[in-house]
Amino acid sequence: MIQKKTPRNKAHLVRRLVKLEYSDDQNMIEHLNTFKGIVNQLMKADMKIDDELQALLLLSSLPESWDTLLVTLSNSAPDGKLSLDNITDSLLNEESRKKERGSSSYLEANVVENRGRSEHRSKGKREKSRGRFKSRSKGLTCFYCGKDGHKKPECRFLNRDQKNGIVVNPKKKLEEKTTTAVVSDDANVFLISEVNYLNIAFDDCTWIVDTGASFHVTPHEGFFLSYQKGDFGTVKMGNHVTSKIVGIREVTLTIENGTRLVLKEVRHVPEMRLNLISVGKLDDAGMNNQFSDGKWKLYRGSMIVARGKKEGSLYCMQGKTYKGETNVAQEESKELWHKRLGHMSEKGLEILAKDHLQSIKGQPLELCEDCLAGKQRRVSFRRSENGRRKDHILDLVHSDVCSTSEKSLGGAQYFVTFIDDHSKKLWVYPLKRKDEVLRIFKEFHASVERETGRKLKCLRSDNGGEYRGPFEHYCKTHGIKHEKVPPKTPQMNGVAEKFNRTIAEKVRSMLSHAKLPKSLWGEAVVTAADLINLSPSRPLNGKIPEKVWSGKKASYHNLRVFGCKASVHIPKDERAKLDAKVKDCIYLGSPRDEFGFRLWDPANRKIVRSRDVVFFEDQTIQDIKKVENPTLKVISDQSPIVMNNLGGETRQTETNQELQLDEMAEEADQPNLTEVDQLIEDAPQEPQLRRSTRQKQPSRMYFSDEYVNFTDEGEPPSFVEAMEMKDKDKWLQAMEEEM
């Protein structure tokens, strides 16, 4: 755990450093790492300890049995000053010599105990041993791995290395067992823990969490997503063997809980046998480390990014890596669909990958900063038991009204939700005022009953004022049971409350990625509702709400990244001969009850609907060069405005007038464009036909590109509302002129 720079913590660390003692039965590597870890924590707390003082403190921690070495080091010190590096090397070498002397003495004693005549098996002849043989494996030390209880020929690590074709040097092997790696890079020195490393060195998925490390280290070049070769310093081992740091870059780990951890500036040391994670680097990245009860947890805020457990004296973490170019290609595909589906969770993407999006199956998903900006939440409270969902659609519908602090383009400041309990399908309607809830509910009621042929039986709300009075009267008139939860208990209306949170999280993430203003939340809310209906639902065991509701397979071919750049075709009657055929717009959604796509034209400051569009899903509004500091300004229109249940936020009411025949013929002369994201060359010229002499009449029903214009707040339906608007003086002047 990274401690704060308080005097109390500093005093605690100094006390630990002074009282630190080494015992003969302790591993020197463990002692050195403990010492160096305390020193590093003091340095992070702005406590400076020079090299000589560190060397003296380290020597003072040794017992009396090391006094001979202490005298030797004191007499050989140049200019009477000790160096921490020299002291460290000397202590490690002395420990190795002591172990070798102890093992040799015991082996000699063991040989003496092998008494009598002993004959060995040779050349196929079976000869028995006569005499007494006392085998005492207890206390033996293997010259290969350095562990007690067996000899070198019986060593399983030796057999494993020989099978893998690894060149083995027995003497060097024993030295490496008691070797500490000291890495020096730009005056940053740290110890790499190798206590009991032989148990984990050949497991590429294991990473050591080191509090004393200055940076991350790995011996595997294939772990890097991108790789930069160069000379980045050296690694000096305790046996005076040095290894170069030959590369540096990022390594991405997939943790067991499904999250991804990106390690920045990882050093590549081919001769190192460990994967090492620096706690200090994680702290610099804004993460919090927690060590307790033999477990390690890494937090980003309240979210657990990674976790590990203590093995021996080390904290280890299991993390899989994906090699270079394959990982990059896979990452783009899954991240693209993650953005297309409104920043869906990785679990939801995995469910879709089984049937609908098989191209992203098995790919990892990197931690998304836009998801953190929109979805990071507090630690969950204890989950209460939920009732069983209804057996049929429209048996129960949940409803709630959610307010926002920002007005939308159409002047909406609220939105009401309706959720079918059986299918979990969601409907969202933006509102200007709460008293519009009854009107919207009537539209919803008529629409769903006509679509399904079933009757709405029960509605559950939070007992707000908008659900009382005329609303209750309407429910009683149509035989709808209205369940109202008690005051100040939103948990009892948990389905609607949870959907409100899901919608808000998606909208925040979508607007964050698209770099769009908050006033576009109305369009984002409607699009988010469509995406939720196309996403796997946990209460449905991964099924799609839209499929459960309609019984038809959901379609994803019209989905694009919200807020991405889109090039829209301009009809030839709206452009000059030499003008460009396209204009840049911003994608806002694909309404379910409208043809084409809804887009925002920032140059003309209006909403446009078109089907002849080419998308650039890796670009946003910032990539449209001709728009600098785009502002949202809406254009007035005489057409009345009504809310749309699944389409955009608003739509114009359509008349029953028919298109003129000559206008249809003119549209037929236009080149036929294929679906959405395919570029089509101009069709070859055909023999010119005789033009009709009939005078053309413009359509009174649509503009040629089906523009949908609307005012910022709409035309006020009453005098009272007109006087509440910011331009009330102009409305008053207009009324006086008409009178």
Same domain, yes or no, for 99 and 9?
Answer: yes
The CB density around residue 589, as the number of other CB atoms within 10 Å, is 25
What are the tens digits of pLDDT across the range 43-57? 888 888 888 888 889
- More confident of the two residues 353 and 438: 438
**Residue 391 within any structural domain of the chain:** no
Q: Are strands 606-610 and 613-616 parallel, antiparallel or unpaired?
A: unpaired
CATH number, residue 465 = 3.30.420.10
Helix (H) or strand (E) holding 326: helix 324-340
**Residue 288 within any structural domain of the chain:** yes
pLDDT at 533: 92
For residue 431, which of 421, 419, 441, 422 has the smallest C-alpha distance? 441
pLDDT at 528: 93
SS3 636: coil
- More confident of the two residues 473 and 647: 473
Contact 306, 209 (CB under 8 A): no
| Spatial separation of the C-alpha atoms in residues 145 and 636, rounded to whole Å | 83
Helix axes 84-112, 28-44, angle to 10 degrees: 160
In this model, does residue 633 exceed pLDDT 50?
Answer: no
Read off the pLDDT band of 697 (50, 70, 90). Answer: low
**Residue 174 within any structural domain of the chain:** no
- More confident of the two residues 25 and 101: 25
Q: What is the mean pLDDT of residues 241-247?
A: 78
pLDDT at 486: 83
Q: What is the mean pLDDT of residues 572-593?
A: 86
The CB density around residue 13, as the number of other CB atoms within 10 Å, is 20
Domain boundary among 255, 286, 321: 321
pLDDT at 450: 94
**Residue 723 within any structural domain of the chain:** no
Read off the pLDDT band of 688 (50, 70, 90). Answer: low
In this model, does residue 597 exceed pLDDT 60?
Answer: yes
| Spatial separation of the C-alpha atoms in residues 610 and 567, rounded to whole Å | 10
**Residue 408 within any structural domain of the chain:** yes
Read off the pLDDT band of 101 (50, 70, 90). Answer: low
- The mean-pLDDT minimum among 243-252, 440-449, 678-687, 719-728 falls in 678-687
pLDDT at 177: 41
Q: What is the mean pLDDT of residues 162-166?
A: 61
Contact 277, 216 (CB under 8 A): yes
SS3 350: helix
Tell me the three-class secondary structure of 389-437, residue by residue. CCCCCCCCEEEEEEECCCCCCCCCCEEEEEEECCCCCEEEEEECCHHHH
Read off the pLDDT band of 136 (50, 70, 90). Answer: very low
**Residue 100 within any structural domain of the chain:** yes
Residue type, 224: F
Read off the pLDDT band of 647 (50, 70, 90). Answer: very low
- More confident of the two residues 496 and 664: 496
- The mean-pLDDT minimum among 70-74, 471-475, 574-578 falls in 70-74
In this model, does residue 63 exceed pLDDT 80?
Answer: yes
**The model's pTM:** 0.40
| Tokens 């030499």 -> residue | 578
Same domain, yes or no, for 533 and 572?
Answer: no
Tell me the three-class secondary structure of 481-503, residue by residue. EEEECCCCCHHHHHHHHHHHHHH
Read off the pLDDT band of 481 (50, 70, 90). Answer: very high
In a 10 Å sphere around its CB, with 0-12 CB exposed, 13-18 middle and 19+ buried, how is residue 487 labelled? exposed
Radius of gyration over alpha carbons of the chain, in Å? 37
Same domain, yes or no, for 294 and 344?
Answer: no
SS3 291: strand
pLDDT at 186: 37
Domain boundary among 489, 519, 550: 550
For residue 725, which of 716, 735, 734 has the smallest C-alpha distance? 716
Annotated active-site residue 593? The verdict is no
- More confident of the two residues 678 and 287: 287
Same domain, yes or no, for 289 and 346?
Answer: no
| Spatial separation of the C-alpha atoms in residues 690 and 16, rounded to whole Å | 99
Same domain, yes or no, for 523 and 605?
Answer: no
- More confident of the two residues 62 and 700: 62
Contact 461, 483 (CB under 8 A): yes
- The per-residue b/e assignment along 184-216, b for 16 or more CB within 10 angstroms, e otherwise, is bbeeebbbbbbbbbbbbbeebebbbbbbbbbbb
Contact 252, 306 (CB under 8 A): no
SS3 260: strand
Read off the pLDDT band of 273 (50, 70, 90). Answer: confident
Same domain, yes or no, for 250 and 328?
Answer: no
The CB density around residue 407, as the number of other CB atoms within 10 Å, is 16
SS3 125: strand
Q: What is the mean pLDDT of residues 334-343?
A: 80
Averaged confidence pLDDT in the chain: 74
Read off the pLDDT band of 698 (50, 70, 90). Answer: low
Helix (H) or strand (E) holding 524: helix 521-533
For residue 213, which of 184, 235, 192 has the smallest C-alpha distance? 192
Same domain, yes or no, for 345 and 315?
Answer: no
86 token code pair: 């020299």
| Spatial separation of the C-alpha atoms in residues 704 and 660, rounded to whole Å | 13
Q: What Cα–Cα distance (Å) separates residue 367 from each residue in 224, 288, 303, 335, 345?
A: 17, 16, 11, 10, 10
pLDDT at 331: 37
Domain boundary among 321, 337, 352: 321
SS3 177: helix
Q: What is the mean pLDDT of residues 123-127?
A: 43
Q: Give me the number of domains the chain comprises.
A: 5
- More confident of the two residues 285 and 644: 285
Read off the pLDDT band of 692 (50, 70, 90). Answer: low
Q: Are strands 260-268 and 276-278 parallel, antiparallel or unpaired?
A: unpaired
Read off the pLDDT band of 363 (50, 70, 90). Answer: low
**Residue 684 within any structural domain of the chain:** no
Same domain, yes or no, for 341 and 419?
Answer: no
What are the tens digits of pLDDT across the range 568-580? 999 888 888 888 8
Residue type, 280: G
Please report, rounded to a whole number, the percentage of residues in the chain having pLDDT higher than 70. Answer: 69
Q: What is the mean pLDDT of residues 145-166?
A: 71
In this model, does residue 640 exceed pLDDT 60?
Answer: no
SS3 363: coil
Of the residues 89, 210, 462, 612, which is catalytic?
A: 210
In this model, does residue 424 exceed pLDDT 50?
Answer: yes
Same domain, yes or no, for 575 and 537?
Answer: no
- The mean-pLDDT minimum among 299-303, 396-400, 623-627, 716-720 falls in 623-627
What are the tens digits of pLDDT across the range 204-231? 788 888 877 778 888 888 888 767 777 7
For residue 338, which of 347, 330, 349, 329 has the smallest C-alpha distance? 349
Same domain, yes or no, for 567 and 703?
Answer: yes
Same domain, yes or no, for 545 and 406?
Answer: yes
pLDDT at 188: 38
In this model, does residue 109 exceed pLDDT 60?
Answer: no
- The mean-pLDDT minimum among 139-148, 279-288, 324-333, 507-516 falls in 324-333
Same domain, yes or no, for 297 and 330?
Answer: no
**Residue 421 within any structural domain of the chain:** yes
pLDDT at 338: 79
DSSP state of 455: -
Read off the pLDDT band of 492 (50, 70, 90). Answer: confident
Q: What Cα–Cα distance (Å) separates residue 402 from each residue in 378, 433, 437, 525, 612?
A: 20, 11, 11, 11, 35
What are the tens digits of pLDDT across the range 444-470? 999 999 999 999 999 999 888 899 999
Q: How many C-alpha atoms does 691 have within 13 Å on its Cβ side?
A: 5
What is the extent of the structural domain holding 106? 1-110
In a 10 Å sphere around its CB, with 0-12 CB exposed, 13-18 middle and 19+ buried, how is residue 459 labelled? buried
